Structure 1
Amino acid sequence: MSRDIDRRTFLQYSGATAATAASVGLAGCGGNGNGNGNGNGNGNGNGNGDGTPDDGADAELRTYDEELPEDPSRVEVLQHANGLANALAPWVYLHQQFSIYGINNDIEWDARPDEDINVKEFSTDRDEITISQGQLLETLDPTGENSTPQYNIVDQAYEPFLYRDREGRPIELIVTDWERTAEQEVRLTLRDDVQFHNGDDMTAEDVAFSISRANNPDISEVAGNMGDIAEATVEDGDVVLDLDSVTPTIFRNLTAFGRVLQQSWVENDDNDIATEINGTGPYELEEYVNDTRVAFTKFDGYWGEAADPNSVTFTGIPENGPRVDALIAGDSDLVTNVRPNDIPDVEEAEGVGYDDVPSTRNIFLVMNDVAEPFDNQAFRQAMNFAVDVQSIIDSILNEFGNQTSQPTLPGHNGHNPDIDPYPYDPERAEALVEESGHAGIEIELHTPVGRYLRDADIAEAAANQINELENVTCTANRRDFGELVNELLAEQAESPAFFLIGWGNPTLDGDYAMSPWFTEGPFQHFSNEELAELLQQARTIPSGG
């Protein structure tokens, strides 16, 4: 698959201050936000989890020397990969993002770690709801884009095959029962009372078609995420998936990627899946005005429990301040990505509050290893020692964040609990830069603006800290998110050498945290044979084995 095919896939798994930005110290105060941000990044560790202090200004590389058991479990393989990734340092590891929402007090809703907004989960007496995000979408085709803002909109009307609880475990939705009938075969039992918005009954053939279409790289932006599906067929009313490999994450994948479509409707040339919707969800499309709003009304024929609001409208407000203003003014009932320093305004306003939750999104600085100086491990580790992540979390994010040490977040399958974050050690960073042979280098850190919580502020703080090294010059370059993504998904040699990005992980599995970035594909920005072999090995071991 060419790198540019999956541009929009990057959007999900993908708002000039320094680290002394104003802090209001609000995390955990007021509302129902927990925001305790207890990142442990100010301690010392040598990368293998034994807590041994680092030796100050030396050029010794972090190493990961643990050995895999003779017959490792899948979790052990993924944990080993995470440990190796910490030492190889393909990224500057920053933090787990907190999702902070502003919400009208008339709505009862608990924010989800996976960042999904399902209006059917709202408890409210309000008939009409308006939700404002930083961006809208480029298409209503549920496999034509793969971003959190897009799913939040189309998933009011479309439904995935399975869904997941708040701990990431698959739960029934359109599929009511699922089992692995052979090492490379799974069977899906379907609900028999599902109706499309046009009044037609859903069939097993529709579900098989939907899976096949989502898995087709010529028309689907999520094809690389579905799993190694060779064929989807119908057998005795069930859908059977023949797999080309074990695909241990197949059921988790079906909770996140692909949506149920009606085959005859999609194949009818009179219908336009990019601007129209015929789904099975609790809301049906009322109006779509490109770049302006998407409006839905309640679908009376929904198979499940009816949602409370009769209608819901999504709008896009790119700037953080105006989004909060819309909430306070009553123009929006729920807004995303409230900045920590805007929380006092929300708390003081009448009739609104905020909710926060640690998300499944990892924020990090990618170092493209086809470009100097990032092809050098010593230099990459130096960048990790140069950034005071905990100070960024404390001052810019007001403690709404947890420092990370590896690609897979805590609580996700394959996270290695024995790996410590890089401590802030600028003297050691300078020594490693000297060891790398790149002393005096000038580098540029590219950052989106407004896509993630205080993204540009975080990037500029990191760039300023790197720039404080005696032997490196670093500046930050604020970029339009869409333009930056286009560059990131060009050939690796043409991608920026150093950039901030966020990667959401709806499968809560280490494979999706690492494989897109470290194995061949459109997102790859780092190559290491041992790491790639570990990830391939993990794909051959069934879950639980």
Structure 2
Amino acid sequence: MFKYAIVPYSRMSDDTVSRRGFLKAAGAATVVATSTAGCTDSGGGGDGGGDELVYSRGDHPQNYDPQQTTSGEVSKVTNQIFDTLIQFKPGTSGELTSGLADDWTLDGTTATLTLREDATFHSGADLTATDVKATIRRFIDDEYDYYLGSDRSGYASITFGDWVDSVEATGDYEVTIDLTQQYAPFLRNLAIFAAAILSRDQIESLGADAQPELGTDPVGTGPFEFDQLDNETQRVRLTAFDDYWGGAPSVSAVIFKTTGSNQTRAQGLINGDAHITDNLDAQSIQKVSSADSASVRQKNGINVGYMAFNHDRKPAFRDPLVKRAISMAINRDEIVDSIYQGFAASANQPLPPDVLGHNDDIDSYPHDPQQAESMLADAGVTDLSFELATFSNPRGYNPNPIQTATQVKSDLAEIGVDVEINQFSQFSAYLEYTYDGRHDACLSGWYTDNADPDNFMYVLLHPGTDIDDVPADQNYIAWEDKNNVSNVSAWVDTDYMEFVDKGQRTYDDAARQQYYHQASQIAHDQAPWVYLDYADLIRGVNEAVVAESYTPTSVGGPFLDRVELA
């Protein structure tokens, strides 16, 4: 059996995990809470009315199919509409609790899940094991008539695709999943938003060619029903599902509205035009903090912000000396202290401090422009220029991406490196560009999906291929040959891959920690990224939100069905 650093599990045999065992242990453990988001009030005017909750954000995706996106902006909405088999407990750093499954075991390579019998879809149909099977097959089975195909997101491989050998409905309310290998993160992956359970009736009613349309009219079993998608005004409206198995929500509706400007979004929160807002920059945070009608909630985050080098596109980045020089030239402390104004800490490796496998013995690259310039000369690189792709809207791991990119450009100009900033106004367009590998380098970042080290080390820096498929003595992979779309560096190191693969396949916590310590050291030394920051999670909350009803959390959520308005 296995356990995680954040949520202690009770130990059984070496290759078995049961829900009852680790829930009992987790209940006795002290868990550090982290953060999420908030809303506005009946008395404040604006978009909401009565007991409608308004969640203000910085971007507006137009597709709300959890199997077609990697966007956290989408998951904020889909987590209200859909349920997963296993869920993250609100207010914790990744503790697991019952979802659509109320019992489960993972024994070697076989997972068995017993479904609750009181869950219904918004259409009125009962949830059964056939819905679970159809959901998984739509995501990963190219022999299924309703397979999503090229429209599916990279989460297909993270959640099911690379690990599920077969899925069977072994009873009306029992599902058996056989894995291709022992896979330590599997139960946690079942709680990721992309593993949400869809309606088989809706999948089949859409037909094979219309599967992408599910994202404009999603039907789930969650606490809120999809009501309106207004792309012109950039709003999404959900209404309470009174027959929700977990109990009816405390508010009648949730409105997600988009306001691109941080300052405008903060002022709207203060005015009562929104109840909760996220992704604020330092100036907006100060503005909310000083207001009488709103407050800031700040928690330790489980995320990393970084600048990724595209090793496939830019040959100069294949030399670790060049990347270390760039890392030393960029003043990361200036970014963290002045741009993020203390709401983050400097990063030095892929894993944040709160995750199993973070290596405390790794030192950050010092800020030393003179040494950086000398290292470039030693590498024979005296005329380096590259494009830096960046998004515009604030993200938790990078609350001011344009200012960050400008700082990088300025710092590198001091050592003779020319940077051209390529700014994207829409995050979806930025994702498409970088996932296609058209960037030289890009500012990026990652919120944890499941609080497991594999979610960083494999998803972001492993090519998703077998070690034997990597050409000898080559530290990059052709873009079209890698399988992890979120690996936007196309970097390869076979020793790193070996440690990460071992970390996936063992259920022993102590062994996993050592594997990730060694992998983190390699990732630091080879520098496929400039490690920028580990950011706090910041949420602005209007006074209309009943304080005890809002539970900040770093994994999953936001849990808006629990929010009450005064």
Whether TM exceeds 0.5 here: the answer is yes
Amino acid in the other structure paired with 2:167: A
Shift of 1:412: 1.1
Contact 1:100 1:354 in 2 (8 A): no
Amino acid in the other structure paired with 2:418: T
Q: In the alignment, what sits opposite 1:301?
A: 243
Compared CA separation, residues 387 and 269, structure 1 to 2 (3 A): closer
Compared CA separation, residues 296 and 101, structure 1 to 2 (3 A): closer
Q: In the alignment, what sits opposite 1:518?
A: 462
Shift of 1:235: 1.8
Q: In the alignment, what sits opposite 1:534?
A: 499
Compared CA separation, residues 258 and 388, structure 1 to 2 (3 A): same
Distance 2:39 2:220 in 1: 27
User: What secondary structure sits across from 1:307 in the alignment?
Assistant: coil
Distance 1:209 1:220 in 2: 15
Shift of 1:353: 1.6
Q: In the alignment, what sits opposite 2:560?
A: none
Q: In the alignment, what sits opposite 1:467?
A: 413
Q: Deviations over 1:113-163 (max 9, x none)?
A: xxxxxxxxxxxx961111111112221222122211101112211111111
Q: In the alignment, what sits opposite 1:261?
A: 198
Contact 1:100 1:338 in 2 (8 A): no
Q: Is 1:416 the counterpart of 2:349 in the alignment?
A: no
Contact 1:393 1:401 in 2 (8 A): yes
TM-score, normalising length from structure 2? 0.71
Q: In the alignment, what sits opposite 1:226?
A: 159
The percent of aligned pairs where both chains have the same amino acid is: 25
User: What secondary structure sits across from 2:206 in the alignment?
Assistant: coil
Map residues 342-353 of structure 1 onto 2, 5 A cutoff: 342-353=284-295
Match of 2:103 among 153, 177, 180: 177
Which consecutive unaligned segments of at least 5 residues does structure 1 have? 1-72, 75-97, 108-124
Amino acid in the other structure paired with 2:166: E
Amino acid in the other structure paired with 2:187: F
User: What secondary structure sits across from 1:226 in the alignment?
Assistant: helix
Compared CA separation, residues 167 and 343, structure 1 to 2 (3 A): closer
Q: In the alignment, what sits opposite 1:242?
A: 178
Q: Deviations over 1:179-207 (max 9, x none)?
A: 113x2111112111111112221112212
Q: In the alignment, what sits opposite 1:457?
A: 403
Contact 2:39 2:55 in 1 (8 A): no
Map residues 32-431 of structure 1 onto 2, 5 A cutoff: 104=40, 127-165=51-89, 166-181=92-107, 183-216=108-141, 218=149, 219-221=151-153, 222-227=155-160, 228-236=163-171, 237-256=173-192, 257-269=194-206, 272-291=213-232, 292-370=234-312, 371-431=314-374
TM-score, normalising length from structure 1? 0.73
Distance 1:205 1:401 in 2: 45
Which consecutive unaligned segments of at least 5 residues does structure 2 have? 1-13, 16-33, 44-48, 142-147, 464-481, 512-566
Distance 1:208 1:100 in 2: 31
Shift of 1:101: 5.7
CA RMSD of aligned residues (A): 2.6
Amino acid in the other structure paired with 2:224: Y
Distance 2:462 2:405 in 1: 23
User: What secondary structure sits across from 1:142 in the alignment?
Assistant: coil
Compared CA separation, residues 543 and 157, structure 1 to 2 (3 A): farther
Q: Deviations over 1:198-224 (max 9, x none)?
A: 222111221222233233461531211
User: What secondary structure sits across from 2:123 in the alignment?
Assistant: coil
Shift of 1:401: 0.3
Aligned residue-pair number = 429
Distance 1:411 1:341 in 2: 27
More helix by share: 2
Shift of 1:405: 1.0
Contact 1:101 1:337 in 2 (8 A): no
Amino acid in the other structure paired with 1:435: D
Distance 1:99 1:443 in 2: 36
User: What secondary structure sits across from 2:429 in the alignment?
Assistant: helix
Contact 2:389 2:439 in 1 (8 A): yes
Match of 1:436 among 374, 379, 382: 379
